[in-house]
Amino acid sequence: MTIRFVVVGGGPAGVQAASTAARLGAQVTLVERDVVGGAANLWDCVPSKAMIATGSLVALAKRANVRGLEPLSPEVDLGLLGARVRQIEHKLASSMTEQLLSQGVEILRGSGRLVGPHHVEVSTEDGELRSLDAEAVLIATGSYPRVPAWAPVDGRRVLTTRQAYPPPEIPKHLIVVGSGVTGVEFVHMFRSLGSKVTLLVSRQQVLPQKDPEVAAALETDFLESGVILCKGARAVSVEHAGPDNVVVRCEDGRVVEGSHMLLAVGSVPASGALGLENAGVTVNEAGHIPVNQHCQSNVPHIYAAGDVSGRLPLASVGAIQGRKVAEHVMGLHSREHRHLDYDKAASAIFTEPEIADVGLAEAEAFALGRKIRVTKVPLATNARALIDGDARGFVKIVSDPATGIVLGGSVVGDRAAELVSVIALAVTANLRVLDLAESLFVHPALSEALAEAAE
Ligand SMILES: Cc1cc2nc3c(=O)[nH]c(=O)nc-3n(C[C@H](O)[C@H](O)[C@H](O)COP(=O)(O)OP(=O)(O)OC[C@H]3O[C@@H](n4cnc5c(N)ncnc54)[C@H](O)[C@@H]3O)c2cc1C
């Protein structure tokens, strides 16, 4: 019997689930009300990294002397930049759509909601109602930016991340509220595009969840590039001050005036208006759909994956959850398989220097009282880093002193997001430091620092 599988939400989790299930023989309908690829392509990962790529090129041009050229001062063309961002989104959305269609996935444009445990109702973009029966349903509706009650977002001066790709003008002085991953990426993006930037950090360290040494490297770079860091500053209000300015007040009385304010204070799961109650699906206080290791909700044939599941809010994690869901729906997990280990997910922060880590962090190991071996190599002596004129940062590897097994690591520096993949593979495959140290890497390459750190 062919399994009918309905996926609501076409972000990384939904697309991957639909594609894998179709490949495995399911009859799949993917319901998406916006674009295939989801918020990841339209609002989050892709446009932010495209803008950062432009910002990083501007920054590199300004220090072109490191590669023997006269320093340049390129002008940012916001029209061109906006068109480029949209073109990338469009290319990705159409290639995903083509692939899904070629696999036999039905793509329904519209909003889906559960009207019963095995029924999804879709109000299509043509204004029709379509009813779908399903043996299994995946909710992969993602999340949207959190807007605190004190912040009247107007899309002009007070912005969420979704209004910044790119804004109509480069902000003269941008105040970024929130110093987590998204906040620091937007600081880097707008600083390199030419804005003066003030970052309000509610605690005493940017990236409060990260290794302090890694956070310190970023803070140093921010300060050197002229970013104003206000630590212990919790924003509580924002007001317009004339047509061109905003004033942000902090809990401790500090006041910061700028031309724009950008909120980067987390996200809210998109679990409302999905009719979850009609199918008996439980939602927790934060609005996430709690799931087990197979991404099943409390109703076993209704799954949740991606941001709405409340696990690691990363596109990469959502995609692999989607794949696991499809395999489970198709009965593959009755055989031995590897459960998703969220502690082994690599993640990156696309600042300058780039920051990436995976697995056990040094600070976390100390907090747990766990014995570890930490080896660290600065990029300052790496030939490729010197050739490229950017020798900032380091590679750090955390391993088990008894077995030599790689437990985690961090990379701060140029192309950290690529380099960390080698450590991620080592962590997932239980490789030992010796395996890395004896790998014959390319010379001259940044990856040589990985082998060196593993010695
Ligand atoms: C600024 C920013 C930058 C980020 N950068 C990165 C990064 O570099 N790397 C990374 O791994 N992660 C990044 N993330 C996180 C990443 O974007 C999310 O984890 C990821 O998008 C979650 O994927 P998802 O599949 O849950 O759904 P989403 O990508 O959120 O997509 C959900 C889809 O569901 C659709 N939908 C919602 N409700 C319905 C409904 N009722 N009916 C039909 N369709 C519906 C929406 O239209 C949307 O298309 C970033 C996040 C932000 C905010």
Q: Please determine, for residue 334, whether its predicted confidence score (pLDDT) is greater than 80.
A: no
The boundaries of every CATH 3.30.390.30 domain in the chain are: 353-454
pLDDT at position 443 is 97
Distance in Å, CA 450 to ligand 1 centroid:
32
- Quote the CA–CA distance of 427 and 394 in Å, as a whole number: 19
pLDDT at position 295 is 97
| pLDDT tens digits, one per residue of 143-188 | 999 999 999 999 999 999 999 988 888 999 999 999 999 999 999 9
Closest C-alpha to ligand 1, atom 38: 141
Distance in Å, CA 158 to ligand 1 centroid:
22
| Mean pLDDT across 33-51 | 96
Q: Please determine, for residue 412, whether its predicted confidence score (pLDDT) is greater than 80.
A: yes
Q: Give the N- to C-terminal CA distance of the chain in Å, as an integer.
A: 54
Burial class (CB in 10 A: 0-12, 13-18, 19+), 273: exposed
Residue identified by tokens 């989050």 is 44
Q: Which atom of ligand 1 is nearest to the CA of 350?
A: 8
Q: Which CATH superfamily is domain 353-454 in?
A: FAD/NAD-linked reductase, C-terminal dimerisation domain (3.30.390.30)
Residue pair 157/179 in contact by the 8 Å Cβ criterion: no
Secondary structure of residue 325 in the 3-state scheme: helix
CATH of 4-145+269-334, one of 3.50.50.60, 3.90.320.10, 3.40.605.10, 3.30.70.1450: 3.50.50.60
The maximal CA–CA distance of the chain, rounded, in angstroms, is: 68
pLDDT at position 59 is 93
Residue 143 CB partners (closer than 8 Å, separation 6+): 39, 267, 268, 269, 270, 307, 308, 313
Q: Please determine, for residue 51, whether its predicted confidence score (pLDDT) is greater than 70.
A: yes
The boundaries of every CATH 3.50.50.60 domain in the chain are: 4-145+269-334, 158-265
Residue identified by tokens 């930037």 is 197
Considering the chain, what is the average pLDDT of its residues? 95
- Quote the CA–CA distance of 222 and 216 in Å, as a whole number: 10
pLDDT at position 213 is 85
CATH code of domain 158-265 = 3.50.50.60
Q: Please determine, for residue 336, whether its predicted confidence score (pLDDT) is greater than 70.
A: no
pLDDT at position 322 is 98
pLDDT at position 335 is 66
Instruction: Tell me the whole-structure pTM to 2 decimals.
Output: 0.96
| pLDDT tens digits, one per residue of 59-102 | 999 999 999 999 899 999 999 999 999 999 999 999 999 999 99
| Mean pLDDT across 432-441 | 96
pLDDT at position 299 is 98
pLDDT at position 32 is 98
Q: Which atom of ligand 1 is nearest to the CA of 161?
A: 1
Distance in Å, CA 11 to ligand 1 centroid:
5
Residue 349 CB partners (closer than 8 Å, separation 6+): 181, 184, 185, 207, 218, 355, 356
Residue 445 CB partners (closer than 8 Å, separation 6+): 384
pLDDT at position 159 is 96
Residue pair 164/262 in contact by the 8 Å Cβ criterion: yes
| Mean pLDDT across 119-126 | 95
Pocket of ligand 1 (CB under 6 A): 8-14, 31-34, 38-40, 44-45, 48-49, 111-112, 140-143, 161, 182, 270, 274, 306-308, 313-316, 318
pLDDT at position 131 is 97
pLDDT at position 333 is 77
Q: Please determine, for residue 57, whether its predicted confidence score (pLDDT) is greater than 90.
A: yes
